[in-house]
A and B are shown apart, each in its own frame.
Chain A
Amino acid sequence: MLFALDLAAGSVPIPPLRIPAILFGGADNPAWVAIIRIFRLPKAITALVGGASLAVSGLMLQTLFRNPLAGPDSLGIGAGASVGAGLVVIFAGSSGSAFLGQLGLAGYTALALASALGAALVLLVILAISRRLAGTTSLLITGILVGYFAGSVLALLVFFASPQKVQVYLGWTYGSFAGVTLDRIPVLLGGCLLGFIVLGRSPRSFDALVLGDRGAESVGIDVRRVRRRIIVASAILAGVVTAFCGPIAFLGIAAPQGARRLFRSSAHRMLLPGSALLGAFFALFADILTQVAPGGIALPLNPLLALLGAPLILSIVLRSRSSEGRA
């Protein structure tokens, strides 16, 4: 339903009830069909998949770090993915193609791959640091620093890029589900599906990580393999989504939190689909919000999410002081 509403919302209002007709043919208004097919359908699918992916990535990072505030953005992983994506653009730039513009399918795949690699690199750095520093606060500070670092690298890259690209790049950092056209969706879907498949096979081994590394090992879990699997999967998920939608904030933290509270569960058998669902829901909801501004202006996604997300995270921090992090 939210999906239909997302298709309906925009500067050209289309009645939600007409959506099924438009999607499945038999529509009378060719302009509406074009708007839906070319702009809004890809955007809604991207929001759906992107939201679910960021949420699942966030959930797994929270499991990996045993920390309710871990997430693709709070750990600077989104920033790492941006650097990876930025590098591809610079190299692609020499051949004269515009940012995210004339890249072919191979280009998008390279972009997604570089982005995922950037995400994985940051993740590994943070993991190495977190072994020496325990605790929620130090992890977050590390994430912020790594984020700054990646951000500076990105800023330098931008400095060498042409003004036209900078313009596009800046638009990209606001985060948007709208930049993905229908032909790019297979890459996005494929990458995210890959991430989900890697994770979906062994939810119990993720549960066991709650016992601590040694505790999990004592019940027969190959902790290093599980950890590797989480890193690969969450880097792919966060990386691919970041490559196409820009760094999207807070979704990755908020959705798993919501799923935990909603299902009153810590079992990944519940939380994986639950977070994905809630993430998709949040993303669609936020995307609709970007369209409701008066005057037909589409609001940027990230500031909107931060507006909602920052108070939520503050409430988690405050709560984790009283109860034992059972957020």
Chain B
Amino acid sequence: MKLLTARSLDVGYLARGRGPRKGGRRSDGDRLIFSGLELDVPSERFIVLLGPNGSGKSTLIRSLSGMQPLIGGSVEILGRALARLDARERAKSLALVLTERFDAGWFDVFDIVAFGRLPHEGLGDEAGPDDSRIIRESLAAVGMADFERRLFAELSDGERQKVLIARALAQATPLLILDEPTAFLDAPARSEIFHLLRKQARAGKGVLMSTHEVDLALREADEVWLVDRDKGLVIGAPEELVLSGAIGAAFDGPELSFDAATARFVAPSTAPHRAIAVSGEDAVGLAWTVRLVERLGMSLDEGPKGYDAELHVESAAALGDRPGEAPLAANGNRGERRFAWKARSGGQGRELHLSTLSEVEAFLRALVSPNP
């Protein structure tokens, strides 16, 4: 089911920003960011609006949610023109999480989430039992059930963001729109927000969020709306956008380029070229050895004179079979993995046995500036 549709939508800023203008008249001073957009947000879909900072993501989000006048075209929510809905009707069909920060005073987490029930109750009313149940369910859905009576102002950034999402869920709307909910958050909190929103989409909501988190967006989104400075908005499945080179085109700069194979941004190497052959059977050991090689600015591809060195990764289990070599000391971390490396540099044929990554790093660095 289509929850939100935009037809021939023009987004930007009016020359003298004074409300929407009638019938497509446009003055020269208008700053158009997008034009002729055709957009759909169906239910059960997690859409991520992706683009570099300052590319107009927030402007588009504001236009789609009725916080900013449209320059042209139309936005409909559940078949009704957004501009015709009053604030309360809009709040019943569309829940928003915004970047605006605020001082919550003495309001606790429950109070803040309870604001999500306002469109459904009379303004003088207190939250009834039904509202309380919905508020608690919303808090549970974001994993904040235990924080009900904590002061909002005393929460961490990640916790606040989850409470604000709970507030949006408490509005019980089919549509959820979020503007950069992962800004200011640390890496685990960012992943958590993405998972949580995907879960909401699976449960039936249409979710649209803007972010500049490329890797998470590509992993979690059902659909990506990509802001490209030259081509406007490019829409597609995340995998599709990577393979078509659209992601790279949108984000590449002089300092970084997008690597389609690893879905990461890589800097062009400035170190003297060295080619390293890396082999091994353990996927994890191999992956992180490769990362180390790349971090040092070395190449995995064979150079004109062949490889400068070879590295072979073995898991510690294989190592343990061999007498005379001590496995690494366990540090007690959960999920710790231990490896050993066999290294051979091209010039000299002697095989080195290395037992830690820092030894491997030292070995690789020595290839560039040999130090006796």
Please list the residues of chain A having a beta carbon within 8 angstroms of any beta carbon in chain B.
66, 201-205, 207-208, 210-215, 217-223, 260, 264-267, 269, 323-326
Interface residue from B88, B100, B107, B112 paired with A214 (Cβ < 8 Å):
B100
The verdict on B91 contacting chain A, using a C-beta distance below 8 Å, is yes
With A203-B124, A219-B91 as contacts: A264 and B98 at CB distance below 8 Å: no
The verdict on B208 contacting chain A, using a C-beta distance below 8 Å, is no
Instruction: Judge whether B123 and A66 touch: CB under 8 Å.
Output: no
Instruction: Judge whether A202 and B88 touch: CB under 8 Å.
Output: no
The verdict on B67 contacting chain A, using a C-beta distance below 8 Å, is yes
* Whole-angstrom distance between the Cβ of B203 and the nearest chain A Cβ: 21
Return the CB mask of B285-325 against A: 1 if under 8 Å, else 0: 00000000000000000000000000000000000000000
Bound-state Cα–Cα, A248 to B191, Å: 54
* Whole-angstrom distance between the Cβ of A126 and the nearest chain B Cβ: 20
Instruction: Judge whether A205 and B100 touch: CB under 8 Å.
Output: no
Which partner residue on chain A sits nearest B89 by CB separation?
Answer: A220
Chain B residue numbers with a CB within 8 Å of A325 are 103, 105
Please list the residues of chain B having a beta carbon within 8 angstroms of any beta carbon in chain A.
65, 67, 86-92, 95-96, 98, 100-107, 111-112, 115-116, 118-119, 121, 123-126, 151, 153, 167, 171
Instruction: Judge whether B103 and A66 touch: CB under 8 Å.
Output: yes
Interface residue from A204, A214, A220, A264 paired with B90 (Cβ < 8 Å):
A220
Chain B residue numbers with a CB within 8 Å of A323 are 153
Instruction: Judge whether B95 and A218 touch: CB under 8 Å.
Output: yes
* Whole-angstrom distance between the Cβ of A320 and the nearest chain B Cβ: 9
Instruction: Judge whether A204 and B123 touch: CB under 8 Å.
Output: yes
Bound-state Cα–Cα, A122 to B153, Å: 32
Chain B residue numbers with a CB within 8 Å of A223 are 87
Bound-state Cα–Cα, A40 to B115, Å: 46
With A203-B124, A205-B123 as contacts: A211 and B115 at CB distance below 8 Å: yes
Interface residue from B89, B96, B104 paired with A266 (Cβ < 8 Å):
B104
Which partner residue on chain B sits nearest A205 by CB separation?
Answer: B123
Instruction: Judge whether B102 and A210 touch: CB under 8 Å.
Output: yes
Interface residue from A66, A204, A220 paired with B91 (Cβ < 8 Å):
A220
* Whole-angstrom distance between the Cβ of B132 and the nearest chain A Cβ: 15
Chain B residue numbers with a CB within 8 Å of A215 are 98, 100, 102
Chain B residue numbers with a CB within 8 Å of A217 are 67, 87
Interface residue from B92, B111, B112, B153 paired with A220 (Cβ < 8 Å):
B92
Which partner residue on chain A sits nearest B120 by CB separation?
Answer: A220
* Whole-angstrom distance between the Cβ of B122 and the nearest chain A Cβ: 8
Could you list some 29 contacts between A and B, CB below 8 A? A66-B103, A202-B123, A202-B124, A203-B123, A204-B121, A205-B118, A207-B107, A210-B105, A210-B107, A211-B112, A213-B100, A214-B96, A214-B98, A215-B100, A215-B102, A217-B87, A218-B65, A218-B91, A220-B87, A220-B91, A220-B92, A222-B86, A222-B87, A260-B106, A264-B106, A266-B105, A323-B153, A324-B153, A326-B103
Bound-state Cα–Cα, A267 to B90, Å: 24
With A219-B171, A221-B87 as contacts: A324 and B118 at CB distance below 8 Å: no
Bound-state Cα–Cα, A260 to B103, Å: 14
Chain B residue numbers with a CB within 8 Å of A264 are 106
Chain B residue numbers with a CB within 8 Å of A213 are 100
Chain A residue numbers with a CB within 8 Å of B90 are 220
Bound-state Cα–Cα, A80 to B89, Å: 38
* Whole-angstrom distance between the Cβ of A24 and the nearest chain B Cβ: 37
Bound-state Cα–Cα, A223 to B67, Å: 12
Bound-state Cα–Cα, A265 to B104, Å: 10
Instruction: Judge whether A212 and B105 touch: CB under 8 Å.
Output: no
Which partner residue on chain B sits nearest A223 by CB separation?
Answer: B87
Which partner residue on chain B sits nearest A209 by CB separation?
Answer: B102
* Whole-angstrom distance between the Cβ of A232 and the nearest chain B Cβ: 17
Instruction: Judge whether A201 and B102 touch: CB under 8 Å.
Output: no
With A217-B67, A218-B91, A220-B92 as contacts: A210 and B119 at CB distance below 8 Å: no
Bound-state Cα–Cα, A289 to B111, Å: 40
Instruction: Judge whether B118 and A266 touch: CB under 8 Å.
Output: no
Chain B residue numbers with a CB within 8 Å of A208 are 115, 118
A-B complex: 7 closest residue pairs judged by Cβ atoms:
A220-B91, A220-B119, A266-B105, A220-B88, A218-B96, A212-B100, A266-B106
Chain B residue numbers with a CB within 8 Å of A260 are 105-106
Which partner residue on chain A sits nearest B121 by CB separation?
Answer: A204
* Whole-angstrom distance between the Cβ of A271 and the nearest chain B Cβ: 9
Bound-state Cα–Cα, A215 to B111, Å: 14
Instruction: Judge whether A324 and B111 touch: CB under 8 Å.
Output: no
Instruction: Judge whether B102 and A211 touch: CB under 8 Å.
Output: yes
* Whole-angstrom distance between the Cβ of B370 and the nearest chain A Cβ: 56
Instruction: Judge whether B115 and A219 touch: CB under 8 Å.
Output: yes
Instruction: Judge whether A267 and B111 touch: CB under 8 Å.
Output: yes
Pick the most buried of A218, A221, A325: most chain B CB atoms within 10 A of its CB. A218
Interface residue from B102, B116, B151 paired with A219 (Cβ < 8 Å):
B116
Chain A residue numbers with a CB within 8 Å of B103 are 66, 210, 324-326
